[in-house]
């Protein structure tokens, strides 16, 4: 029977959420948490011999040490395959899964597999290096994820030929692989054209190279005369989040008045962001949206003025499409209001 070692974070091991993200790596014999679903899918073909659990913060903050510890843990079991995750849309978990899977593959020379939502930052970082199965954006998609990951896992463990991304469910990894479609190419072309003509969504079989490059504007001629606006994806909002901007996958942005406000304080502002530790941002929201410093600059004549409103949203699992739509809308307002330059802050 094939042996599998499974890597999960503190949340999926039922240790706790963000507040327990500091727990160091530990190994437990057999199945923990989502491993059960994998084990059921593997049946008699493979066995999860051990589960390694590590807090997301611990992993990312003690990178080298954590990597070495975990590699040693994996090595002990001499498995045929290493599975990390699935991490869905959890950014740090995704990055940890990708990092450790790649390290295990490189150090121990065994096949590895992870699963993530396509907008998880870990996906872009690792999809070209290891097989990353495309999952839904939350743990509610576990069944679907296991259904795709388990067959690919077995193929990898057995050293069988892996098919095209469209067949196997992994994210396109820059390596084109042939496979047979259900319909011939001309029929697929006709179907695609009908969709395109009717304004329906269609999927090209070969995406052109990414053309989304933004050339920087020329430098501001005289910054001492410039009207500057603040825009952030760090989720800073008036306390109480009056417009209910979502903590993840934001569908909206807010526009708030800072006329006369010299300093953002804990009393009046906070972050709505659900993807990072909010403690320091809430203690002093200027850390994310630097109103205090800009007011000083304004007073000293280093800049012309600060725009009366700031724009804010939550950049946590938020679709690029949404972000683009937000900016397209408020960029027009900024222009209409005579803003010369924008400082964009992220987290």
Partner 1 sequence: MKLELGSIFIKDIQFAAESKVENETLYVNKEEVRQIILEDQNFKSADVELAKPGESIRIMPVKDVIEPRVKVQGPGGIFPGMVNKVETVGSGKTNVLKGAAVVTTGKIVGFQEGIIDMTGPGAEYTPFSQLNNLVLVCEPIDGLKQHEHEKALRFAGYKVAIYLGELARNLTPDVVETFETPSIIEGFKMYPELPRVAYVLMLQSQGLMHDTYVYGVDAKQSLTTMIYPTELMDGAIVSGNCVSACDKNTTYHHLNNPVIHDLFAEHGKTLNFVGVIITNENVYLADKERSSNWSAKLAEFLGVDGVIISQEGFGNPDTDLIMNCKKIEAKGIKTVIITDEYAGRDGSSQSLADADASADAVVTGGNANEVIELPPMDKIVGYADVADIIAGGFDGSLHADGSITAELQVITGATNEMGFNKLSAR
Beta carbon nearer to partner 1, 202 or 280? 202
181 binds partner 1 (CB under 8 A): yes
For the chain, how many residues are written?
347
Q: Which residue has the tokens 């690792």?
A: 126
Give me the least distance between CB of 182 and partner 1, in Å please.
7
Strands 269-271, 236-238: pairing is: antiparallel
Least Cα distance to 88 among 25, 54, 134 occurs for 134
324 binds partner 1 (CB under 8 A): no
From 1, 194, 283, 325, residue interacting with partner 1 (rule: CB under 8 A): 194
197 binds partner 1 (CB under 8 A): yes
Q: What backbone torsions phi and psi does residue 323 show, to the nearest 5 degrees?
A: -55, -40
Beta carbon nearer to partner 1, 176 or 324? 176
- Token pair for 269: 């502002």
166 binds partner 1 (CB under 8 A): yes
Task: Give one word for 2, left, alpha or beta, with left for phi > 0 and alpha for psi -120 to 50.
Answer: beta
161 binds partner 1 (CB under 8 A): no
Beta carbon nearer to partner 1, 214 or 279? 214
162 binds partner 1 (CB under 8 A): no
- Residues near partner 1 (CB under 8 A), total: 36
CA distance 157 to 61: 31
- Token pair for 129: 């290096």
Contacts of 299 (CB under 8 A, 6+ apart): none
Kindly tell me the burial class for residue 59, based on how many C-beta atoms sit within 10 Å of its own C-beta (0-12, 13-18, 19 or more).
buried
Give me the least distance between CB of 171 and partner 1, in Å please.
10
Binders of partner 1 among 202-261, rule CB under 8 A?
Answer: 202, 204-209, 211
Beta carbon nearer to partner 1, 176 or 255? 176
Give me the least distance between CB of 157 and partner 1, in Å please.
22
Residues that bind partner 1 (CB under 8 A): 164-167, 172, 174-190, 192-194, 196-198, 202, 204-209, 211
């Amino acid at each position: 029977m094939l042996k599998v070692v499974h890597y999960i974070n503190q949340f999926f091991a039922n240790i706790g959420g963000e507040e327990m993200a500091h727990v160091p790596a530990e190994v437990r014999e057999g199945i923990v948490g989502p491993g059960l679903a994998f084990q059921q899918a593997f049946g008699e073909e493979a066995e999860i011999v051990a589960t390694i659990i590590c807090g997301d913060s611990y992993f990312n903050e003690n990178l080298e040490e954590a990597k070495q510890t975990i590699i040693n843990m994996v090595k002990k079991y001499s498995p045929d395959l290493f599975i990390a995750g699935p991490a869905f849309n959890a950014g740090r978990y995704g990055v940890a899964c990708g990092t450790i899977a790649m390290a295990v593959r490189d150090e121990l020379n065994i096949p590895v597999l992870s699963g993530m939502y396509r907008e998880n930052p870990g996906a872009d970082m690792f999809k070209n290096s290891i097989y990353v199965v495309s999952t839904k954006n939350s743990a509610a998609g576990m069944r679907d994820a296991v259904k795709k990951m388990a067959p690919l896992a077995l193929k990898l463990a057995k050293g069988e030929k892996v098919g095209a991304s469209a067949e196997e469910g992994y994210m396109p990894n820059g390596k084109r692989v042939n496979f047979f479609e259900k319909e011939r190419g001309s029929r697929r072309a006709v179907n695609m054209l009908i969709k395109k003509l009717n304004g329906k969504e269609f999927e090209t079989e070969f995406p052109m190279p990414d053309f989304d490059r933004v050339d920087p504007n020329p430098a501001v001629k005289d910054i001492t005369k410039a009207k500057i606006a603040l825009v952030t994806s760090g989720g800073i909002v008036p306390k109480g989040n009056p417009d209910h901007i979502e903590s993840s996958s934001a569908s909206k942005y807010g526009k708030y008045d800072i006329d006369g406000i010299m300093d953002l304080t804990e009393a009046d502002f906070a972050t709505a962001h659900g993807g990072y530790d909010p403690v320091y941002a809430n203690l002093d929201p200027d850390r994310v949206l630097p109103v205090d410093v800009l007011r000083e600059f304004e007073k000293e004549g280093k800049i012309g003025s600060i725009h009366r409103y700031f724009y804010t949203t939550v950049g946590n699992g938020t679709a690029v499409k949404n972000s683009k739509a937000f900016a397209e809308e408020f960029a027009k307002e900024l222009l209409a209001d005579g803003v010369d330059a924008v400082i964009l802050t992220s987290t």
